[in-house]
Structure 1
Amino acid sequence: MPITLVIIAITCIVSFMAFKNSRLMNDLILWPPAITRQREYHRLVTYGLVHADFNHLLFNMFTLFFFGRAMEGFFTDRLGMLGFALFYIGGLVLSILPTYLKNRGNPNYRSLGASGAVSAVLFAYILIAPWSRIIVLVIPMPAIVYAVLYTGYSIYMDRRGQGNINHSAHLWGAAYGVIFTLLVDQRVLPHFLNALMRPSF
């Protein structure tokens, strides 16, 4: 079974269980004091298995389903059978670390959801196929255009510091996805730059 589908299945099962079990939710969510004081480092990964509600879960898993399948083959070819799993777990950890470090003394802060790792997958895909068409809120657009809009919006919202969405994790996840992909295969950068010079809609 593809690793992408395994990740989606595990995430959906755990999220649905946590919807009805607040103790499970509290045990898995990113809560800085539990990591700083109790050394529960597993939370740097397990926070990505739980979501705020069904729509949050659906959006992340829907995005992962479409772009994860494309990127899984890329990482499997270069890193072996578990290459995509390694990439995804790294995305969970690296995208949330800045948030954790910023809030490690804040007992009121909590974060959850796979958005950071999903952003990593999406931006890795954009490097491979920048002009491929994706659908954003029923609006079709080239992937590279979406990347620019997404990055700009996330920076703006992160600086405003309002709402319950961790835009910082989105940005760090995207950066991780780009850097990891370029490190795995240096040919991706010239491929990406050459593709940018040849727009295709």
Structure 2
Amino acid sequence: MGDLSLITIIIIAVNILVSFKGFKDRAFFEKYKFNVGDINRGAKYQIFSSGFLHVDTSHLFVNMLTLYFFANVVIYDLGSFGFVVVYLSSLILGNLLSYYFHKNESSYTAVGASGAVMGILYSAILLRPDMMLGLFFIIPIPAYVFGIGYLLYTIYGMKRRLGNIGHDAHFGGAVGGYALTLVLAPWILQLHLLMVILLAIPIVILFVLQKMGKI
């Protein structure tokens, strides 16, 4: 937490500017949101652009608040460049996983920075697995326990299609943050090998369920 770095301020500012443009301009929102039908017809840019749009101010606020809480943890260990790599890669991987699961649903749409933010959150969890997070902002739990539990819940949400939530984009973003952080900070394998293995369990479960045709 603490003071925001310049790169975090820039990313938050871009999200705010693009989102508010979308709030006021419906044509702009429709052009740049994630829409499977449009993507199938060639609008591949939506896989990236939709990550800066939000449904409303509450959606925007929650994502930017989460980013604020965990950005500095990632920047401290990976630097500003590493932070940007994790953020943008998680955004894209989250939407690519969402596209993979919904590519035959031409009416499926989504927006939000959640995939990118989940990537930053899971990067921070790998870097600081012993930090404490507040479940419902009240109950303190170790970061790695939250990370495992949330991914398992996300798999359940994907299977049941719970709520108006892009669970697959969340999962893909988290996997992006997990994988990119290991590439950028391989020393984690020496210091936190058990946590790396534990956090990989939900990823393996999703892969197995997908291969079995159960998700």
* TM-score normalised over the length of structure 1: 0.87
Matched AA of 2:161: G
Alpha-carbon separation, structure 2, partners of 1:72 and 1:30: 28
- Mapped to 1, the partners of 2:83 and 2:101 lie a distance apart of 28
How big is each residue's C-alpha offset from its partner over 1:103-155, in whole Å with a ceiling of 9 and x where there is no partner? 33432110110111111111111111111112232222221121122112111
* In 1: Cα distance, 2:33 partner to 2:75 partner: 26
Closer, same or farther in 2 for the Cα pair 1:48/1:192, shift >3 Å? same
Pair 8,190 (structure 1): closer, same or farther in 2 beyond 3 Å: same
- SS, match of residue 174 in structure 1: helix
Q: Distance in 1 between matches of 2:192 and 2:9?
A: 27
Which residue of the partner structure matches residue 130 of structure 1? 129
What corresponds to 1:74 in structure 2?
77
Distance in 1, matches of 2:81 and 2:195, equals 28
What are the equivalent positions in structure 2 for 1:1-201 lying under 5 Å apart? 2-37=6-41, 39-76=42-79, 81-139=80-138, 140-193=140-193
Structure 1 unmatched ranges of 5 or more: 197-201
Shift of the 61–127 alpha-carbon distance from structure 1 to 2, 3 Å rule, reads same
Equivalent-residue separation in structure 2 for 1:7 and 1:69 (angstroms)? 13
TM-score relative to the length of structure 2: 0.82
Question: Aligned partners of 2:145, 2:185: CA distance in 1, in Å?
Answer: 23
CA–CA distance in structure 2, aligned partners of residues 148 and 45 of structure 1: 27
Q: CA deviation at 1:195?
A: 7.6
Instruction: Read off the aligned partner of 1:180 and give its amino acid letter.
Output: L
Equivalent residues, number: 191
Q: Report the identity percentage.
A: 34
